[in-house]
Amino acid sequence: MTEANGGRKAAAADAVAPDADGATMPDADVASPPDAGSTQPAQRPQRPAALVFTQAVLALQAFAALFATLLVSGLDKAGTVNVPAGVTWGGGLALVLLLGYAVGQQKKRWGRWLGWILQLPMLVGAVIEPAIAIIGVMFVGLWIMALRIGGRIDRERAERIEAARAAPSDVPPPAEDAE
């Protein structure tokens, strides 16, 4: 066995920490440095689950707002609702753009508040078409779930990482077969 292979195995063993059940899992916080002969990039830290979930909900809601705009425009042409085209397209596309902007602002503290505020226009859409409010209620539920479940996952990850750091690291490296 060459020195380069042994070095890579030791580096890989250092980046693995035991979880609560004793199984080994890669440590999300530790980015192992790339080996000189390796072509793989360094491991990036894991993104917070709450961030990923809230961004996904807002991005999907932007598509729903676009489709709601198309619905209201079609109902206006059919004569079912009476909303000026400028209000329909201006308000609908503004909401789509604001939702898209809010996706990128979720890393900031006020980004969550922006997400909460942008839940309101879909609920107020009941004035024009009740189906829009039904979709809005579904997205409010998804938003709440994204915040709660994402927060819980992030807390559990932090606890697991802290437990792995506090645990003694006297786990012997895997035995190598002598050839």
Query: Hey, which residues does 24 pair with through a beta bridge?
Result: 18
Nearest to 122 by CA among 113, 132, 130: 132
pLDDT values of the chain reduced to their tens digit, one per residue, 179 residues: 444 444 444 444 444 444 444 444 444 444 445 555 557 677 788 899 999 999 999 999 999 999 999 999 999 999 888 889 899 999 999 999 999 999 999 999 899 999 999 999 999 998 999 999 999 999 999 999 999 999 999 999 999 989 988 876 665 666 666 55
How many whole angstroms separate alpha carbon 177 and alpha carbon 9? 13
pLDDT of residue 167: 78
pLDDT of residue 67: 96
pLDDT of residue 35: 53
pLDDT of residue 36: 54
Domain boundaries, the chain: 3-46, 49-158
pLDDT of residue 100: 96
Residue 2 makes CB contacts below 8 A (sequence gap 6+) with: none
pTM of the model: 0.68
